[in-house]
């Protein structure tokens, strides 16, 4: 049976680093619990956002562009937005997988005995999460631009009618 040996601090570590690592080691159980909760919530959010992105890309943007082409009214801006959205959606899927794999590894680290290793991995997971967050923001921006393009088209058509 493997014994869990508490972390002993190395010389050269600054006082604040030591405090940080000590805190990780002491609160290991509650930190892990919080990470597991985050993992569950992330999984739920991935499914929710994934469904919305799929609906937008396939049921709305793609169908609109097909309809425009069939009516010989294709719009390069809308076509570009569809491509950009699909590309970001794929990036979102890949980034989520990569982030989740690292989060999984983070949860498996024994933070009681290896707080430094845990801290390093936590930094990596944070940067992956940040990338994922930025991708969701870019997707929202594309949708917002798309909305504006549609408004402009409607105004143009209302002016002609």
Listing DSSP states for 84-119 in one string gives: HHHHHHHHHHHHHHHHHHHHHHHHHS-TTT-HHHHH
Nearest in space to 102 (alpha carbons), one of 81, 128, 138? 128
Residue 1 or 153: the one with the smaller Cβ distance to other proteins is 153
Nearest in space to 148 (alpha carbons), one of 81, 92, 72, 69? 81
- Closest contact distance (angstroms) between CB of 158 and other proteins is 5
- Closest contact distance (angstroms) between CB of 1 and other proteins is 26
- Closest contact distance (angstroms) between CB of 143 and other proteins is 5
- Closest contact distance (angstroms) between CB of 44 and other proteins is 7
Alpha-carbon span 11 to 24, nearest angstrom: 18
- Closest contact distance (angstroms) between CB of 151 and other proteins is 7
Q: Report helix, strand or coil for 112.
A: coil
Residues 6 or more apart in contact with residue 28 via CB below 8 angstroms: 110, 111, 112, 115
Residue 38 or 113: the one with the smaller Cβ distance to other proteins is 38
Alpha-carbon span 153 to 148, nearest angstrom: 9
Interface residue list for other proteins (CB under 8 A): 16, 19-20, 23-24, 27, 30-31, 34-35, 37-38, 40-52, 54-56, 59-60, 62-64, 66-68, 70-71, 73, 93, 96-98, 100-101, 122, 125-126, 129-130, 132-133, 136, 139-140, 143-144, 146-147, 150-151, 153-154, 157-158, 161
Residue 1 or 151: the one with the smaller Cβ distance to other proteins is 151
Residue 93 or 117: the one with the smaller Cβ distance to other proteins is 93
Alpha-carbon span 24 to 27, nearest angstrom: 5
């Amino acid at each position: 049976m493997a014994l869990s040996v508490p972390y002993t601090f190395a010389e050269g570590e600054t006082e604040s680093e030591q405090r940080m690592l000590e805190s990780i080691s002491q609160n290991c159980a509650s930190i892990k619990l919080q990470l597991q909760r985050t993992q569950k919530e992330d999984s739920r959010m991935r499914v929710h956002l994934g469904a919305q992105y799929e609906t937008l890309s396939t049921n709305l943007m793609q169908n609109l562009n097909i309809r425009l082409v069939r009516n010989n009214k294709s719009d390069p801006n809308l076509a570009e937005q569809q491509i950009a959205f699909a590309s970001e959606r794929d990036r979102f899927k890949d980034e989520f997988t990569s982030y989740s794999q690292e989060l999984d590894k983070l949860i498996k680290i024994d933070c009681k005995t290896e707080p430094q290793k845990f801290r390093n991995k936590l930094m990596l997971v944070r940067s992956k999460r940040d990338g994922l967050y930025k991708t969701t923001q870019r997707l929202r921006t594309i949708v917002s631009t798309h909305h504006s393009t549609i408004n402009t088209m409607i105004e143009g058509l209302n002016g002609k009618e």
